[in-house]
Amino acid sequence: MTHAFLGVELAYWQQTTIRVLAGLVAVLLLTGGVVYLYLFKFVSFMQSRLGPMEAGPYGSLQLLAEVGKWLQKEDIHTKDSDRLVFGLAPAIVLTSTFLMFVVIPAGPNAVIADLGTGIYYVLAMSSLSVLGILMAGWASANKYALMGALRAGGQLIAYELPLVLAVLGVVISAGSLNLQDIVAAQSTGEIFGWSGIGNPYVLTQLVAFLVFMTAVQAELTQTPFDMPIAESELVAGYQVEYTGIRFLVYFISEFATAVGFAAVASTLFLGGWALPASWDISDGAMHVIGPIMISVKAVFLVGVVFWVRFSFPRFREDQLQRLAWKFLIPVALANIVLTAVFKVVF
Amino acid sequence: MTAITDRQKLQYIAARAADARVNVELETEGMTLNIGPQHPATHGTLRIVARLDGEQVVAAEPMAGYMHRGYEKLTEVRTYAQITTLINRIDWLGSFANEVPFILAAERLMGVEPPPRATWIRTIFFEMSRIANLILFLGDMGVQLGAITPVFFAFRDREFVLDQIERVTGGRFHPNFDRIGGLKDDLPKGWIEDNKRTMERVRDFCDEIEDLLMGSEIFQQRTRGIGVIPPDVAMQYGLSGPNARASGIDWDLRRDNCIGLAYPDLDWKVWTHPDGDSFARFWVRLQEVREATHMIDQLCDGLPSGPVMAKVPRIIKVPAGEAWVSTENPLGEMGYYVVSQGDLTPFRVKIRSASFNNVSITPWLLRGVYVPDIITILASLYFILGDIDR
């Protein structure tokens, strides 16, 4: 069975290999770019300093230097740690991150697997990371790590719900769980009969977008929801005993997940890779424009996440649970009901 | 070490018994968490042994002494001029303020009266060190609560104040500028004009912190009603300084018992807050930084002319006697009880530092709070480890 991929006829295994490799490279490049852009530079300018300036022009190779440093570090286990679980935990977290990207479309054809239940696959895969975090916390044999992991467990599960409920509004509007269909629905949609810019759901599903981004902030355990790794009290939470390459894996996973969620958010709410159908751009051009579009949108949304992260203090554990259960979930539910009513009436 | 573990064991058993009385059906096991001595929240080497039930603190005990440097004993083998170098390091963020009460005590024993210009400049630097110290608190409070941006602003703007101190004294942190009978030097040319600008910057910083941190909903949620100290408890534990004033105790040594400094000549206000919670402690310190900038402006405007050094003998021998002088330092009341037997060195110096008393309230204050609130409370009590252990 052959598929057309960028207009070239290839065998299935060839295509799959190309897609996986291209996806991996794209994700790592984007992640590195996000780390440099936001963690090194954006935050430095916010805090009236320059950030890294020495490694490469304008400090652009700083990330390579950091990765090189981490790779050289000794891999330390604590005496009482459960070696096997301790070693597996970062792998599980990283796996959950990369599995998220499988269904995110970056163009008419540029998707690793076009699943019918795409968006639920993404949410299910992203919640796998809780397992890795709990394993890390337990296996580290450290009280701070354990507390961090338990906090993370409670928090990630609590914020999974508003995340799913916010997505439901979009799913009802688009009438599909498939991410390509959701992109198409936004591209060809119209707002009260006007189809000039399609129907990006950030306009018609604004409440869902805000709930989604808040929940994403919590899922990423970024400030103001960073109780699990709160550096001033739990030192580094579940990551406290990790060194060298294992810590690097957590680090990559944290930022790759940020990119992943931002890509999902831009697919669901900002129109994804597509431009409005009424602009009438050929499919051939979209093969090139698509990946750029979604990267720009995702990087922008990661920027918002980091902007919030470096501006606010953090919530206490009970306060962030209260926010999830007493505010975000009711709001998301109301949004679903309203969306359904509108869908039926109009 | 065994004494500590025995005590912990007894505490643990008592707390277990209390738990069992409350909840007979569900057997739960507590956890003892060592916060420190190496922990980012203690910004030094304070150790807090907290017995937890889930995330709630059942009992907490501060263990000081990891940084004990024996200053009281060391003063006995140093001349008076050398001691100021030493006691600079007690509260290392507001160093000059440590020198003043000791020098005042020595001056009282010798019967030396410093010239008015020296007194005024002393007061300027006393308030400068208050600003340098409390600015860092304002940023640090943010970082303890998870907002890392304010602390960079704090370090940035503190540098302007430290620059001003360095221009006069030659030292950023440890000026060692106070002498018995006056000061080492006069102010350099143009310093006062620059100082006006610096004070303007500090006031801008205060506005910035008010917008960025104090006005934040999350900050208020995290601090309001957390770690409430009623006034009577504050007095029982001997709290002083902003911690006491945040509990509504209108007591400030600068106004109520001003010795040898220029405060009575200034127009200023003592800020108090009725709530006694972490937010109040933050608020009071913010107002004190503002008030200090206005005080320094007044001091610079009305600076009397004249010498900065009184006539004192070249080799200082303090006559036999005893003197106690305490001043309102950035962290609270700091005092020195100096006993002299007429030698080159004091016979005995007792240092009363504010942080030691301020931290002693933690067992009372931390009972029943959640782990994240431990950090809020410790940050808002604001201690300097050198000031606890000396």
Out of A7-16, A56-65, A337-346, B331-340, least confident range: A7-16
Q: How confident is the model at residue B131 (pLDDT cuts 50, 70, 90)?
A: very high
- Model pLDDT for residues A35-64, shown as the tens digit of each residue: 888 888 888 888 888 888 888 888 888 888
pLDDT of B36 strictly over 80: no
Chain B residues in contact with A313 (beta carbon < 8 A):
142, 145-147, 213, 216, 218-219, 222
Q: How far apart are CA A51 and CA A265, in angstroms?
A: 29
As a whole number, mean pLDDT of residues B44-49 equals 81
pLDDT at B284: 92
For residue B40, pLDDT beyond 80: no
Q: Is the pLDDT of residue B140 over 70?
A: yes
What's residue A142's pLDDT? Answer: 84
Three-state SS for chain A is CEEEECCEEEEHHHHHHHHHHHHHHHHHHHHHHHHHHHHHHHHHHHCCCCCCCCCCHHHCCHHHHHHHHHHHCCCCCCCCCCHHHHHHHHHHHHHHHHHHHHHCCCCCCCCCCCCCCHHHHHHHHHCCHHHHHHHHHHHCCCHHHHHHHHHHHHHHHHHHHHHHHHHHHHHHHHCCCCHHHHHHHHHHCCECCECECECCHHHHCHHHHHHHHHHHHHHCCCCCCCHHHCCCCCCCHHHCCCCHHHHHHHHHHHHHHHHHHHHHHHHHHCCCCCCCHHHCCCHHHHHHHHHHHHHHHHHHHHHHHHHHHCCCCCCCHHHHHHHHHHHHHHHHHHHHHHHHHHHHHC
Does B181 reside within a domain? yes
* pLDDT over 60 (residue B3): no
Judged by a CB distance cut-off of 8 A, whether residue A47 touches chain B is yes
pLDDT computed for residue A141 by the predictor: 84
Percent pLDDT > 90 in chain A is 7
Q: How confident is the model at residue A2 (pLDDT cuts 50, 70, 90)?
A: very low
Q: Radius of gyration (Cα) for chain B, nearest Å?
A: 22
CB contact under 8 A, A313 and B156: no
Q: Is the pLDDT of residue B1 over 50?
A: no
B40 touches chain A (CB under 8 A): yes
Query: DSSP letter at B303?
Result: P
In a domain, B349, yes or no: yes
Residue B268 has pLDDT above 50, yes or no: yes
Res. B20 pLDDT band, cuts 50 70 90 = low
CA dist B151 → A161, B41, B66 (Å): 35, 14, 26
| Rounded Cα distance, B24 and B47, in Å | 32
- CATH number at B227 reads 1.10.645.10
Nearest one of A178, A61, A76, A44 to A119, comparing CA atoms: A178
**pLDDT digits over A149-165, tens only?**
888 888 888 898 899 99
| A152 lies within 8 A of chain B by CB | no
Structural domain including B167 reads 79-360
The whole-chain average pLDDT of chain A stands at 85
Question: Average pLDDT, stretch B138-150?
Answer: 86
Tell me, yes or no, if A319 comes closer than 8 A to chain B by beta carbon: yes
Q: How far apart are CA B59 and CA B52, in angstroms?
A: 7
For residue B18, tell me if it sits in a domain.
no
**pLDDT computed for residue B25 by the predictor:** 55
- The per-residue pLDDT for A3 is 52
B218 with A310: Cβ contact below 8 A? no
> For residue B8, is it within any domain?
no
Instruction: Please check whether residue B46 lies inside any domain of the structure.
Output: no
**pLDDT digit string (tens) for A186-218?**
888 777 777 777 778 888 888 899 999 999 998
- Check whether A7 has a pLDDT greater than 70: no
- Domain total of chain B: 1
Q: And the tokens for A83?
A: 């070696």
Mean pLDDT of B294-318: 86
Average of per-residue pLDDT across B133-148: 87
pLDDT per position as a tens digit, A83-126: 888 889 999 998 898 888 888 888 887 777 788 888 889 988 88
Mutate to test the interface with B, among A151, A316, A321 (most CBs of B within 10 A): A316
Is the residue at B381 inside a domain?
Answer: no
Mean pLDDT across A8-13: 77
Question: Does residue A219 carry a pLDDT above 50?
Answer: yes
pTM of the model: 0.82
- B212 Cβ under 8 Å from any chain A Cβ: yes
From chain B, pick out residues whose CB is under 8 angstroms from the CB of A233: 35, 41, 371-372, 374-375
Which carries the bigger pLDDT value, residue A282 or residue B50?
A: B50
Searching chain A, which residue's CA lies closest to the CA of residue B48?
A233
pLDDT of residue A8: 66
User: B54 pLDDT exceeds 80?
Assistant: no
Q: Which pLDDT belongs to residue B180?
A: 87
Which of A114-123, A176-185, A198-207, B336-345 bottoms out in mean pLDDT, i.e. has the lowest? A198-207
Please give the ipTM for the structure prediction: 0.77
pLDDT of the residue at B289: 92
pLDDT tens digits, one per residue of B352-388: 888 888 888 888 888 888 888 888 888 888 888 888 8
| CA-based torsion, A57, A60, A64, A65: positive or negative | positive
Does any domain span residue B384? no
Better-predicted residue by pLDDT, B17 or A146: A146
pLDDT of residue B285: 92
B80 pLDDT more than 60? yes
Q: Which of A232, A234, A323 to mutate to test the interface with B (most CBs of B within 10 A)?
A: A232
Q: Quick one: pLDDT band at residue B254, thresholds 50, 70, 90?
A: confident
Rounded mean pLDDT, B235-243: 88
Give the residue-averaged pLDDT of B329-337: 89
